[in-house]
Amino acid sequence: MNKMTSIQEIEAQARQMRAEQFGRTMSAIARLALAAPRKIGAALRTWSTQRQAYDELMALDDRQLRDMGLARSEIPAVVAGTFAPDSFRVEALPAVDGAAAGANTNERKPADLRRVA
């Protein structure tokens, strides 16, 4: 009989542990289900704010953007928060020996370019 009692005790403990684990699992699912609408709402608010900033920056003319130190192609990175100012922009060095470089020519070599400070 002693063996039967111990098997019954083991089965009871297993049922108890299963019930506790089931309760923890259901609790975790409920927390996720309740958090999902908040996360979706926060993502929509962020998207809306970024879209408004994008539209406002795109409405500026090139001179206004240049005054802020931006190029039109940099607007998406600025809005997304990934813009690293002056990390990749280059400009031509002043012409040497009085020679003026044309606007859209290949007269400059890479050595004539420098990073904008």
How confident is the model over 62-102, as pLDDT tens digits?
999 999 888 999 999 999 988 877 655 555 555 555 555 55
Q: Give residue 84's pLDDT.
A: 79
Residue 69 region, left (φ>0) first, then alpha (ψ -120 to 50), else beta?
left
Domain range spanning residue 15? 2-115
The structural domain count of the chain equals 1
Q: Give residue 69's pLDDT.
A: 87
Whole-number Å distance between alpha carbons of 68 and 60: 11
